[in-house]
Structure 1
Amino acid sequence: MGPDGVASLERPLNRALYACVRGAIQDGSLAPSTRMPPQRDLAAELGLSRNTVMFAYEQLLAEGYLTARTGSGTFVADTAPERFLHAGVAATPHAGTSHATTAHATIAHAHAAAPMQGLSPRGQRLIANASASPTQWGAFMPGVPDLVRFPHRRYAQIAARLWRQPHPEWLSYSHGGGLPALREAVAAHLRVARSVRCDASQVLITEGIHQAIDLVVRMLGTPGETAWVEEPGYWGIRGVLEVSDIGMVPMPVDAEGMTLPASGDARFGYWRRPAPRFIFVTPSHQYPLGAVLTLKRRRELLEFARREGSWIVEDDYDSEFRFSGQPIPSLQGLEPDAPVIYIGTFSKTLYPGLRMGYMVLPPAIAPAFQTAHAELYRAGHLMTQATVAEFMQAGDYAAHIRRMRPLYARRRAILAGLIERYLGPGALHAHTSNAGLHLVMRLPDNADDVAVAARAGARGIMVRPLSRYYMGPSAERGLLLGYACVPEEAIAPAFQTLLECLLA
């Protein structure tokens, strides 16, 4: 069952319907000015919920494929976005066939073909549960830093100077885990800022957290093994595990972080040996709820992993931005020789399009991972790595983080104040901590947060529904609101628009 009590197939159907209608518009099957069927009529004809149809229509409206005319209905736009990119011959309806009938027939045919032809079962599962947003910038997109305040000029000066006389080896493939200078810089930063036990030989530069997880699963996992994942948890981890045929066991999150099975605890009746091969955890700032894994549970988790031979994968995605109290040290650094693979990213501190992250591996497996990374991904981007290395070594990286902390703290305070003023103090999720780049706003248990997010997206407000982060049916309803990329003066107007979507 899905988070709103509808069968789990309902989730991919809203995306399948959207893709089908968009494809029909692109290839001309639905001609410009075609009147679309009313949402209620189309839902009844296809046997779908109205929310499913509403999501598809509102996404198409937001992207410009459809237009709404007050009092008249919804129509195919006169100029679809791809018209400027592709030359094609638009199909026309047969004589005597109305545009509305053509729209019904086209959508119904596409809906019938919703299973994706030619894809493997795991490929179909991956696409059906895809969660990446087509829009990655604007209020209130979670997880995106302020890209305007990035020190572009300073970064460009370093890059331009390096490009004037580049080392030939920097223009070839990478081997050995990345540019040595960047690995040294990352290790030095992590030792001081995150209490990570490491040297440069353990660091591997990746193209983001997803690639790091993919490499971990390929090198240490076998199809059919299991992984514990946080419930709720990051959808990106689930996608990688899905295509790798690693089974997932959702572990509930409470105010102390991921809960662990105890002898006789009925909540964990579904857990049976063998022990999980992997345990994926965000201990310093649980994603998405924000709890911090307590010291007691950290020690229990490490003890369990040592005893059972499991690998802990620590995702430290945004720990640099904590706005009160002392930074939360890494789990990896708590004990020597911990069975922990530490992964991090520059997406939150620099910018997501950089596509650069890092892993800290136990010494025994680091050389094998570095070789495998070169074999699987033919790594490169050494000129970019050289630029980032000098940016860090010169102190610009640490200075940028220091400048952004008070800025993000102010934006968080503004947004949290608006939420509490208009929706009450209980609207902020109880686990939310004073850190990170997003807040979680709770909604009533009977609310449809997916529909609210769709309505907001149609009006240019990007939020993510909390229920989509759950694997099981007991999903909380809420919205993830990112504040880091929203100027202070734009927060209140954007929030007012979101309130209107909540009340619609």
Structure 2
Amino acid sequence: MRTLSGDLIAHRLSQAPAGALSKRLYDVLQTAIQQGAIATGSRLPASRDLAQELCVSRNTVLAAYEQLQSEGYLQTRTGSGTYVCEQLPETAPQASLSPSTSSAPFNHIRLSRRGTRVLARSGAGAYQWGAFMPGVPDVSHMPHDIWRKIQLRLSRRMPVEALSYSNHGGCLQLQQALAEYLRVSRSLNCAPEQILITAGTHQALDLVAKMLCDPGEGAWIEEPGYWGFRNVLAVNGVELLPTPVDDEGMLLPDLASFSQLQRPPVLICVTPSHQYPLGSVMSLQRRQQLLALAKSAGSWVIEDDYDGEFRFGESPVPALQGLSADAPVIYLGTFSKTLYPGLRLSYMVMPKPLAARMKMAHSELYRGGNGLAQLTLAEFIREGHYAAHVRRMRQLYSRRRAALVKVISDSLGPAFLSQQGNAGLHLILSLPERIDDVALAAELEQKGVLTRPLSAYYIQGTQRRGLLLGYACVEEQNMAETFAPVLHCLQRRLSPA
């Protein structure tokens, strides 16, 4: 039976300089161990098996093994085999490298202009969970036992179509379950055939940009707004047109002014139920105005309802998509906030004339799959577990938000909580203009506290400074203690020099 380490040794042995075979094999093994290609603690093939793989005598392999063992590279375990030592000799001589490994490192990488732009504006952090990381749910409360039982039951009788490529825009059962849930919980006008399951909201927006925008065409985006949308649109050649927001959502021109635009936007990207990151809710008047503008210009409204389920002490805000049966709205929803981000399942609800073509394009570009997870989620929703979980988490997050608000109000005062919406998974700690929120966030990260600077969400200059504080992962009784490093760093900056 062939082994991975055997294949590695055979390949390197074929490139080793000429010489006695046992010496060449010894050099190859020593170099592979020193370089970490064969990891410390790993088991080497039995001498007989390796000899057969290399087509050499067993004595040749034994001679190399014995030499390496005498030098402290290998050890034998009775009845178990030959292993690389956990601690290698510190003064081991460097074996001569083969021509393939002795050349200069490959470092002349050239990225495209688009690739360089993505990395320059990247907002993804090295750490994605913990206090006070915004936008991340408390994944520890996911009802894994229920999920696992459903998944085990379904896996015993998986339909063939769930194990192959999907060209229906995702699992049909999940589309049906979602259509019923969204009609009730978010007041959407939708049928199952209008729903496309995607691997995250970024993939959904990428598909929209590729199918509906030509390079150079424009998209209105909220200012400030979500960095992920900016990058996905920019890498597809869409011109970003930052549009300010206020307490009622995106500021919009009147119909007469809009009709005079030489290049109306192809896309208008909004977060109307809970503006990200400021938290305002788009008013009904503003929503109706937005739909009227989009219809007049043939623009598409991209409604990102990333955490619309989490409103505290208030009635849920209906989705923009449900205001009109013929609304030119593409609704984006996700399970990253309600269940957990690693599930990588989101969805789009599209107007019926667009849905079939978008599903075909999704199949061509991304090859949808993850059938078992989609079937499990469909049953999880159908049996009522999803709605019950959302209700429990809404209550939990409400208490945690209240605890953080109290800590900030008691320690800093209400001025640091200006313009807050009572919803979502984060709030904004408002800061004076003289405070560098980027530097403050970097210092807090060194202390193990994860925040995001508000100024980083602006494209056209900083209008407000602050920190986005995600409270979902912090228990109420630990809120004051967890906030202490933030308070300490901030008070040091607020005190006169």
Give the TM bin, normalised by the shorter chain: 0.7 to 0.9
- CA-to-partner distance for each residue in 1:342-368, whole Å, 9 max, x for gaps? 010000111000000000010001000
Whether 1:456 and 2:469 are equivalent positions in the alignment is: no
Alignment of 1:276 onto 2:268: no
* 1:434 aligns to 2:401 (yes or no): no
> 2 CA distance for matches of 1:171 and 1:137?
32
Q: C-alpha offsets along residues 304-332 of structure 1, whole Å, 9 cap, x if unaligned?
A: 00001100000000010111221100101
Could you tell me which residue of structure 1 aligns to residue 275 of structure 2?
286
1:215 maps to 2:204: no
Aligned position for 1:443: 431
Q: Name the counterpart of 2:486.
A: 498
Residue number in structure 2 paired with 1:306:
295
State the 1:486 CA deviation: 1.4
CA distance in 2: counterparts of 1:364 and 1:127, whole angstroms: 36
Counterpart of 2:349 (choices 360, 369, 380) is 360
Quote the offset at 1:233 in angstroms: 0.4
Give, in angstroms, the shift of residue 126 of structure 1.
Answer: 0.8
Report how far residue 226 of structure 1 moved: 0.3
- In the alignment, the residues of structure 2 paired with residue 249 and residue 272 of structure 1 have an alpha-carbon distance, to the nearest angstrom, of 13
Deviation at 1:405, TM superposition (A): 1.2
Q: 2:399 aligns with which of 382, 401, 410?
A: 410
Closer/same/farther in 2, CA of residues 466 and 185 from structure 1, 3 Å limit = same
Distance 1:435 1:223 in 2: 36
The answer on whether the counterparts of 1:233 and 1:470 sit within 8 Å (CA) in structure 2 is: yes
| Cα distance in structure 2, aligned partners of 1:477 and 1:303 | 33
- Give the one of 462, 478, 496 matched to 2:466: 478
Q: For residues 179-233 of structure 1, what are the alpha-carbon distances to aligned partners after superposition, in whole Å with 9 as ceiling and x for unaligned?
A: 1100001111110000100010100001111001000111111000000000000
AA at the equivalent of 1:450: V
The residue aligned with 2:253 is 261
Cα RMSD between the aligned structures?
Answer: 2.2
> Structure 1 residue 424: deviation in Å?
1.1
Equivalent position of 1:295 in the other structure: 284
Deviation at 1:336, TM superposition (A): 1.3
1:319 aligns with 308
* Matched-pair contact (CA < 8 Å) for 1:349–1:401: yes
SS at structure 2 position matched to 1:183: helix
The aligned residue for residue 58 of structure 2 is none
Matched residue SS, 2:320: coil
Shift of 1:262: 3.9
SS in 1 for 2:140: coil
Per the normalisation by structure 2, the TM-score is: 0.76
- Superposed displacement of residue 117, structure 1: 4.6
8 Å Cα contact 2:255-2:293 kept in structure 1: no
CA contact (8 A) 1:139 1:491 kept: no
1:394 aligns with 2:345: no
CA distance in 1: counterparts of 2:418 and 2:110, whole angstroms: 42
Matched-pair contact (CA < 8 Å) for 1:345–1:358: yes
CA contact (8 A) 1:145 1:484 kept: yes
* Partners of 1:280 and 1:399 in 2: CA distance: 30
Per the alignment, residue 232 of structure 1 pairs with: 224
Taking the aligned partners of 2:262 and 2:334, their CA distance within structure 1 comes to 33
Q: Is the 8 A contact 1:279 1:313 kept in 2?
A: yes
| 1:27-176 matches, cutoff 5 A | 117-176=109-168
Q: Which residue of 473, 476, 484 corresponds with 1:488?
A: 476
Relative contact order, higher structure (CA 8 A, sep 6+): 1
- C-alpha change, 1:459 and 1:361, in structure 2 (3 Å) is same
Instruction: Kindly indicate whether residue 340 of structure 2 is the aligned counterpart of residue 348 of structure 1.
Output: no
* Whole-Å separation in 1 of the counterparts to 2:109 and 2:219: 29
Q: Output the CA distance in 2 between the equivalents of 1:309 and 1:441.
A: 39
Deviation at 1:263, TM superposition (A): 7.8
Alpha-carbon separation, structure 2, partners of 1:464 and 1:166: 43
SS in structure 1 at match of 2:486: helix
Which residue does 2:185 correspond to in 1? 193
Instruction: Give the 3-state SS of the residue equivalent to 1:169 in structure 2.
Output: helix
Once the two structures are TM-superposed, the CA of residue 272 in structure 1 deviates from its matched residue by 4.5
Paired residue secondary structure (1:289)? coil
Alignment pair present for 1:465 and 2:460: no
Query: By how many angstroms is 1:264 displaced?
Result: 9.7
- Between the aligned partners of 2:334 and 2:310, the Cα distance in structure 1 is 13
Q: CA deviation at 1:146?
A: 1.1
1:276 maps to a residue whose letter is P
Aligned-residue offset at 1:171: 1.5
Q: Which residue number corresponds to residue 322 of structure 2?
A: 333
Select between 360-369 and 165-174 the one with higher mean Cα deviation.
Answer: 165-174
Work out whether 1:242 is the aligned partner of 2:228: no
CA contact (8 A) 1:449 1:477 kept: yes
Larger Rg over CA atoms: 2
Distance 2:262 2:178 in 1: 37
How many angstroms apart in 2 are the aligned matches of 1:453 and 1:291?
23
Moved more, 418-427 or 388-397: 418-427
Sequence identity percentage: 54
TM-score (norm 1): 0.75
Is the contact made by 1:257 and 1:283 (CA closer than 8 Å) also made in structure 2? yes
Contact kept, 8 Å, 1:289 with 1:429, in 2: the verdict is no
What is the alpha-carbon distance in structure 1 between the residues aligned to residue 153 and residue 137 of structure 2?
26
Q: Which moved more, 1:490-499 or 1:178-187?
A: 490-499
Q: Deviation digits for residues 276-296 of structure 1, max 9, x if unmatched?
A: 000000001100011011111
Q: Give yes or no for contact 2:166–2:368 (8 Å, CA) kept in 1.
A: yes
Judge conservation of contact 2:329–2:350 (CA < 8 Å) in 1.
yes
- Matching residue's letter, 1:393: R
CA distance in 1, matches of 2:261, 2:322: 29
1-structure distance, mates of 2:198, 2:343: 11
1:382 pairs, out of 371, 383, 394, with: 371
CA distance in 1, matches of 2:301, 2:233: 15
